[in-house]
Amino acid sequence: MSTSIYDIPLNTLAGEPASLGDFKGKVVLVVNVASKCGLTPQYEGLEKLYKDYKDKGFVIAGFPSNDFAGQEPGTADEIATFCTMNYGVDFPMFEKIPVVGPEKHPLYAALIEAQPKAVNTGGTVFVERLTEYLEKQGTSPNAAPEVLWNFEKFLISKDGEVVERFAPDTDPLNPTLTTAIEAELAA
């Protein structure tokens, strides 16, 4: 990548200028999130993961996106309220952005370029169900390397390298993910 992942301008959910550079020296898990998705309960696991590892140099960066079946229609205030009231989310949340298609945010373009293939920890069931659901809507899943759905996860090392990508149905507490996080924290 020509531009460091740390240098891509972002805004927090509250509208404040930010970047992943704010987390230099930490291991970061970037997740595109949504409040009306079958995977939304992952917020609970993400918050637990954050609490378990934040004192060791780990942070989660949540990016709401309405790209998948309109499952994140809320305003920034509605998203913040939903996350705190329902899941006690304390990890950093950023403004709603597009993560696929021609309007894809530069952060997601860089993440996908760095890691074009996701580790699939759940077998084929999720993809099969998603394909069936989308076909009923007259569409189909995004082709690789695009983000497949909400809650896809990108793991970034302490020095800003995108080291791994995990499929949307990867539970935040899945040993494959936690082992990858622990390896990066130990590096």
Residues involved in catalysis = 37
Taking alpha carbons only, the member of 13, 90, 95 closest to residue 46 is 90
Check residue 151 and give left, alpha or beta (phi > 0: left; psi -120 to 50: alpha).
Answer: left
Tell me the helix, strand and coil percentages in the chain, rounded to 5.
35, 15, 50
Q: Residue 60: CB partners within 8 Å, gap ≥ 6?
A: 28, 29, 30, 31, 46, 49, 50, 91, 92
Residue 170 one-letter amino acid: T
Q: d(Cα 127, Cα 77) in Å, to the nearest integer? A: 32
Helix or strand (DSSP H, E) at 17: strand 17-18
Residue 175 one-letter amino acid: P
Residue pair 19/8 in contact by the 8 Å Cβ criterion = yes
Helix or strand (DSSP H, E) at 18: strand 17-18
